[in-house]
Structure 1
């Protein structure tokens, strides 16, 4: 696999993952109550604990996107 293909893959991977993160954040904002109800019944977690879990999920996912997609993409773009 050529370096240009890897750079292209990392760029598109970053975009796709940011779209997934954005869509899930918007869906959580729009349908918060119904999502909290479903998750609390499904996983047997209290409503108040779910808010913290959602914030942790978004933070962890964003860090993973930056660490595994965006940083390698930017480094390879600078090198090439």
Structure 2
């Protein structure tokens, strides 16, 4: 496995997970009521707690995206340029 293959792998991981992160954030921002009704059928959770869970989900997803996708990709790009 070469550095260029690993770099391309991380590039596509970054693109796909970035799109999923943006999509999740937009869904939470604009379809929060629908998501709450959908999950309210399965779980008995007050709306305030549900908002905290969604906020925490987006925050953890963003941190994982940065640490496990974006940073390795940028490091490989820097190494490829050196």
TM, length-normalised to structure 1: 0.90
Aligned positions, number: 80
Partners in 1 of 2:43 and 2:3 — Cα distance? 43
Deviates more, 1:19-28 or 1:37-46: 37-46
In the alignment, structure 1 segments of 5+ residues that lack a partner are: none
Write the deviation string for residues 50-73 of structure 1: whole angstroms up to 9, x where unpaired. 100001000000110111111111
Partners in 2 of 1:31 and 1:70 — Cα distance? 27
CA RMSD of aligned residues (A): 1.1
- Contact kept, 8 Å, 1:37 with 1:47, in 2: the verdict is no
Write the deviation string for residues 24-59 of structure 1: whole angstroms up to 9, x where unpaired. 221222222121122222122111101000010000
- 2:77 is the alignment partner of 1:77: yes
| Larger relative contact order (CA 8 Å, sep ≥ 6) | 2
Equivalent residues in 2 for 1:1-80 (5 A)?
1-80=1-80
Local SS of the residue matching 2:48: helix
Partners in 1 of 2:29 and 2:74 — Cα distance? 31
TM, length-normalised to structure 2: 0.88
